[in-house]
Structures are given as structure tokens and as C-alpha cells.
Amino acid sequence: ITENEVAQIYIQTKVQRELFKKFGELVEIDGTYKVSKIGMPLYTIIIEENFGIGQPICYMFLREETTISIKTSLQIFADHNEISQTKVVLTDKDCKEMNAVQEIFTSAVLKLCLFHALAAVDKRLVQAKLRRNLRKRSTINSRKPSPPLGKI
């Protein structure tokens, strides 16, 4: 990334900042892909408010999906919010994301989101089954059928 290129876009309203102040003990961080024409992944920080409804409290578009880039965005969040109140951070299985969270949210425990963990396991199981089925089919297809029996 050069000096003239946008590395990230950080968005947080005053209302979102207030929601974090009230309900920021537990946050979830999640990345979503293919939401913009420019191809930047969107990271959202979410809290659960008193009615049990998830509310986005910050949006971060990142040019590069690296630990450093994610960490930089989370540091911007930390500079504008009192993150010492956060006790638990939920993430998906992305190691870059988990590393960045651990470096910024030092007073919080990092937990893997059950939904994302189960989805990852399901995906791996499906892929493994497909591979196994493909191997079976290729073995079956590689056997040449016996020539038809001629008349005796």
C-alpha cells in the first residue's frame, strides 16, 4: 500500500459509541467478504444489548486482511472507546483476527464463536467426504469394464 492509497475506513457513530459504553462487556468481531465493489472486507464489532439483540458498534473496511491491518483498526477503536470494560471477545476461527484481538483487548478473554466453530467443522467434514467420494469414483472409473463375453 502506498501513501496515497486507502488502507482502511473506520466508521463509528456517537450512538454506537454510547452502545459500547453501556453493553461493551462482551463484543463479537466478524469479517464479511464481497460487500463492496472495491473488494475490501468489512469487519464489524457487535455488542448484544439488553433485549438480546446484536447491534453493530463499529465498521472497519480493510484493504489488507493481515494481523497488522486488523490490529491497526482495533487500535483505532481502542483509542476512541474504553476497551478495559470488555471482558470477553468472540471471534471466528481466523488466526490473524485472533492474534490482533489478543494484542489490543489485553484485559479480555478470547473465545471462539460456537456458530463459526461448528460451521468450520461442517465445512471440513463436507470437504473430506467429497474428497473421499471423488477418490472412490476415480478408482471405480479407472477400472476398465470387462469385454463382453463372445459366443462359444
Closest CA to 30 of 12, 47, 43: 43
pLDDT tens-digit profile of 72-117? Answer: 999 999 999 999 999 999 998 788 999 999 999 999 999 987 776 7
Residue type (1 letter), 138: S
DSSP for 91-140 reads E-S-HHHHHHHHHH-TTSEEEE-HHHHHHHHHHHHHHHHHHHHHHHHHHH
Domains of the chain, each with CATH number or no CATH: 8-113 (3.30.420)
Long-range contacts of 41-46 (CB under 8 A, 24+ apart): 41/65, 43/70, 43/73, 43/97, 45/20, 45/77
Neighbours of 43 (CB within 10 A): 24
Lowest mean pLDDT among 10-24, 29-43, 84-98: 29-43
**pTM score of the predicted model:** 0.74
Mean pLDDT of the chain: 85
